[in-house]
Amino acid sequence: MAVYQRSFRPYDGVLSAASTRFLVPARYALQDLFRSKLFTIFTTLCFVFPLLCVFAIYLRHNADLLANLATAGIEFEEWMPIDETFFGVFMRVQGMLAFFLVLFSGPRLVSRDLANNGLALYLCRPFSKAQYVLGKMTVLLLLMSAVTWIPGLLLWGLQAALEGASWGVANLRSAAALVIGSWVWMIVLGLLALAISAWVRWRPVAGFCLLLVFFGGIFFARAIELLFNTEWGYLFDLHHTIRRIWTDLFATPAPFFFGRPLDLPIWSSWAALAILLGLSLLLLSRRIRAYQVVK
């Protein structure tokens, strides 16, 4: 029978596994994101720095070039050592790019479902709130993974392959720091972006709020420091908090803020992130529901 002649038909065929259905909204959201040329261009640009790093590692192992540079008085090995500082810088640059990727993509993921009461259509099916959030998080995690720990590990692997197994063993901490540091950042950013876009339906405002959380904290922290003469306000600064955790993971010197390193214990940074995560989850659980409460 032709399609246009068919009416209501029951379905008795096979069903997909319930545990994999969170991938359905993730797939559709990724397709939608890459329809935007601007987003596609930006995502492509996110790979420029990792390529420069590949180039640097290549130069570092090009004996002819190193010899030429040495005769010209440039000690490339000293100028750019491939060590924990190198990967720490990589983490900072790519972490920031990951933030901008989330800034572009995060607010539209949930807000467009909420804007027209679309959530009821998801949740009236055998599909839970947790699966919904997981589906949306998957989009952000995939995007951020592609620019953070995956290229980071590839770089680390390339360097280990060229330098030798002993370098790999000596720098195992850098590889672990890349993975752990990236995942911490991805989870925090992802949940924060989803929570904000669940509460602020208007996309530009949601994006602005995300910017405010990331960049506005420093002003708040500085104000607290000037008023109360304490550094604890920097825990409200997400930028400081994550950098402090990264430097600890990579075992590099603590970051400088206003010309000096901060004296806050590392546990306080982890605690600040944990509280932020809990808050994001709470906001999400209150907002992701099939119906709107009209007060």
Partner 1 sequence: MPPVIQLDGLSVRFGKLEALSGLTGEFSAGSLGLLGPNGAGKTTLLHTLLGFHPPSAGRGRVFGHDVVTDSRGTRSLIGYMPERDSFIEGMSAVRFVKMLAELSGLPSKTALERAHEALYAVGLGEARYRGLETYSLGMKQRAKLAQAMVHGPKLLFLDEPTNGLDPPARERMVRLIRDIRDSGHVKIVLSSHLLRDVEECCDEVLILKGGRIAYHCNLEQERLANRKFLQLQIRGDVESYVARVAELGCEVAVDGKQRIRLVLPPTLEIRALYEAAADDGVQIRHLDFKRDSLQDIFLKAMEQG
Q: Is 259 left (phi over 0), alpha (psi -120 to 50) or beta?
A: left
136 lies in the binding site for partner 1 (CB under 8 A) = no
* CB nearer to partner 1: pick between 14 and 38: 14
Q: Is 37 exposed, middle or buried (0-12, 13-18, 19+ CB in 10 A)?
A: exposed
121 lies in the binding site for partner 1 (CB under 8 A) = yes
7 lies in the binding site for partner 1 (CB under 8 A) = yes
For partner 1, the binding residue among 69, 89, 123, 150 (CB under 8 A) is: 123
Residue 228 CA to residue 259 CA, distance in Å, equals: 19
Question: Least distance from C-beta 152 to partner 1, angstroms?
Answer: 33
- Name the strand (E) or helix (H) holding 257: strand 256-257
39 lies in the binding site for partner 1 (CB under 8 A) = no
For partner 1, the binding residue among 74, 274, 275, 290 (CB under 8 A) is: 290
Question: Least distance from C-beta 203 to partner 1, angstroms?
Answer: 11
The one segment of 16-24, 139-147, 220-228, 238-246 that binds partner 1 by CB under 8 A: 16-24
The one segment of 20-28, 64-72, 89-97, 139-147 that binds partner 1 by CB under 8 A: 20-28
Contacts of 180 (CB under 8 A, 6+ apart): 249
* CB nearer to partner 1: pick between 61 and 112: 112
Contacts of 132 (CB under 8 A, 6+ apart): 22, 25, 119, 122, 123, 288
3-state secondary structure of 256: strand
For partner 1, the binding residue among 92, 112, 201, 222 (CB under 8 A) is: 112
204 lies in the binding site for partner 1 (CB under 8 A) = no
Question: Least distance from C-beta 83 to partner 1, angstroms?
Answer: 46
115 lies in the binding site for partner 1 (CB under 8 A) = yes
CA 27 to chain centre: 18
Residue 155 CA to residue 223 CA, distance in Å, equals: 40
Phi, psi of 199 (to 5 degrees): -95, -30
Q: Which residues bind partner 1 (CB under 8 A)?
A: 3-16, 18, 21, 24-25, 28, 32, 112-113, 115-118, 120-128, 289-291
